[in-house]
A and B are shown apart, each in its own frame.
Chain A
Amino acid sequence: MNRTEIFDKVQEVFREVLEDEELIIKEEYNASDIDEWDSLTHILLVVETEKKLGVKFLSSEIANWKDIGAMISAIQTKI
């Protein structure tokens, strides 16, 4: 799966968790760019990403993500 395909899957996760079918994400976005992205939503985003992409993260690596691009890079190393 290339980066674009991963991005598309991650966007599906964001749309599902944030319940916004029209949400457009960008790699440089973080929680300050999306109103509904709070700390509890962040947990659900990680859970749904692990499920949809079939990957497992470490809590230490999640803490270092500064934006969605970092999340996608982490996924890329696992699939």
Chain B
Amino acid sequence: MIENFQLGDLFEYKFNITQEVVDKFVSLSNDKNPLHIDDEFAKEKGFKSKVVQGNLQNCFISYFIGMCLPSKHVMILSQTINYKNPVFIDDNIHLTSKIIGIFSSVGVIEFKYKFKNQSDQIISTGKINIKLIT
């Protein structure tokens, strides 16, 4: 299984941040902080409109690891996310991720990743360690 992964392997995916997607996240997380649901509140805080919950990006990481890798026999061991810029409704965000470490002794693959928006601004960066499960 670990042979399916090579140092430097690159993965790319795009996600549309629609109101429907955000509504589903709000329904699931119950995070209804006014920054995320009230345009006026967000503008008072200096944003152009309500800000999409940053943790929605973790849902896309979950999809990427769970569904897009060369093997389905995987689970996430650890994950970091560092937010750089806000995401707004109707943004198109682009995930790129690269394998930066392979630890055969324990069946672990390390990725670094970044999300960018349609203006090529970095939204977030982080690292993910996954474990190959036998």
Contacts and interface: CB of A to CB of B under 8 A. Distances in A.
Main secondary structure of the interface of B (DSSP, over half): strand
B91 interface: no
B78 A50 contact: no
B102 to A, nearest CB: 10
Contacts of B107: 59
Contacts, number: 33
A21 B78 CA distance: 19
Contacts of A61: 105
A59 B106 contact: yes
Query: Which of the listed residues A40, A44, A46, A62 has the most CB atoms from chain B within 10 Å of its own CB?
Result: A44
Contacts of B77: 40, 43-44
B36 interface: no
Interface residues of A, number: 13
A56 interface: yes
Interface residues of B, number: 12
B110 to A, nearest CB: 7
Contacts of A47: 101, 103, 106, 108, 110, 129
Interface in A41-58: 43-44, 46-47, 50-51, 56-58
A56 B7 CA distance: 15
A62 B77 CA distance: 18
A70 B52 CA distance: 49
Interface of A: 40, 43-44, 46-47, 50-51, 56-59, 61-62
